[in-house]
Amino acid sequence: MKEPYGMRTAAFAVGDYDLEATLNSGQAFRWTRCGESWASVVRGQWVRLRRFENVIQAEVALPTKDWAWLRAYLQLDLDLASVLRTFPHDGPMKSAMETCRGLRLLRQEPWECLASFIVSSTKQIVQIRQVISALCSRFGAPVAVPQGIAQEHAFPSPMVIASLEEADLRACKMGFRAPYLLETARQIAANPSILNLEDLSVEAARSRLMEFPGVGRKIADCVLLFAYGMQAAFPVDVWVARALRDLYFRGQRQSLAQLNSFALDYFGPFAGYAQQYLFHWMRTRPRGEG
């Protein structure tokens, strides 16, 4: 019998999917481990995920019939093997692919992704998570949670952030990034369609994002990659710059422009996907190796 009002749980068949690496690789900042599961708020809904042998089990707070939003977020329909085949077959990429087997890119909500990465500049991932947690608990709308689960909050909308003062944001410990986030939120609140970049080329979409204060090439590329699925975007941060320099330029320092130009040529149509493998590999392998 079909449950007319939907179920609070669902199971999605998956093969090559490393849930932990995916949720904990610095692309999203609100996932927390609870035992064998991972919990977060996605598009205003509390979610808990657990990986079993052949499925990912999902639990939400309210009976649900349509799980398309979660399937899209987790990118369950992507054929990962066909993406990996496009990566260069060099030593570093082979090591990264072995170490990070099953690592995926998520498809996040654009505003949350943009705001999160505006906050990210020159911060460690643990700090980014703390700032975003404070931002959500102070200013995000409460969301439904199951019995016995602590109150959670949605990511605050552009309109909510736009209505705040700079001091409110600084109270979340985001420092000099506060005016950037505030002004970006105000521009988007005044014209929400400004984030409708889906039909633009990567270059045009990047230019639009870089018009926001606090958004340069790197943050724009993160948003293109993690929210819009534009997988040719190749964010170059300190980790990736170091990896490229050491692995492909014999340790000789290159300018960001040179690294971006190299990456576009070298890593192919899914360069951004390859970047996430390099990034996660560099961050998780023991120091001093390779």
Residue 116 binds to DNA (criterion: CB under 7 A): no
Distance, in Å, from the CA atom of 21 to the CA atom of 288, rounded to the nearest integer, reads 21
Residue with tokens 């952030």: 161
**Phi then psi for 198, rounded to 5 degrees?**
-60, -35
Residue 138 binds to DNA (criterion: CB under 7 A): no
Residue from 216, 269, 284, 290 touching DNA (CB under 7 A): that is 216
Which residues, at least 6 apart from 172, have a Cβ–Cβ distance to it below 8 Å? 131, 134, 135, 138
Could you tell me whether strands 142-143 and 32-34 are parallel, antiparallel, or unpaired per DSSP bridges?
Answer: unpaired
Site for DNA in 247-266 (CB under 7 A): 255, 257
Short-list 54, 114, 106, 45, CA closest to 78: 106
Residue 231 binds to DNA (criterion: CB under 7 A): no
Residue 32 binds to DNA (criterion: CB under 7 A): no
Partners of 190 in the beta sheet?
none
Short-list 15, 28, 82, CA closest to 54: 15
Residue 92 binds to DNA (criterion: CB under 7 A): no
At 245, is the secondary structure helix, strand, or coil? helix
Of 6-14, 53-61, 148-156, 229-237, the segment contacting DNA by CB under 7 A is: 229-237
Of 52-60, 74-82, 95-103, 125-133, the segment contacting DNA by CB under 7 A is: 125-133
Site for DNA in 51-90 (CB under 7 A): none
Short-list 264, 205, 255, CA closest to 234: 264
CB of 216 to DNA, least distance (A): 3
CB of 237 to DNA, least distance (A): 4
Query: Cβ(72)–Cβ(106) under 8 Å?
Result: no
User: Quick one: 59 or 183, whose CB is closer to DNA?
Assistant: 183
Residue from 43, 170, 186, 208 touching DNA (CB under 7 A): that is 170
Residue 125 binds to DNA (criterion: CB under 7 A): yes
Residues of this chain that interact with DNA (CB under 7 A) are: 25-27, 117, 120-128, 130, 170, 173, 175-176, 180, 210, 212-220, 222, 235-240, 255, 257, 275-276, 279
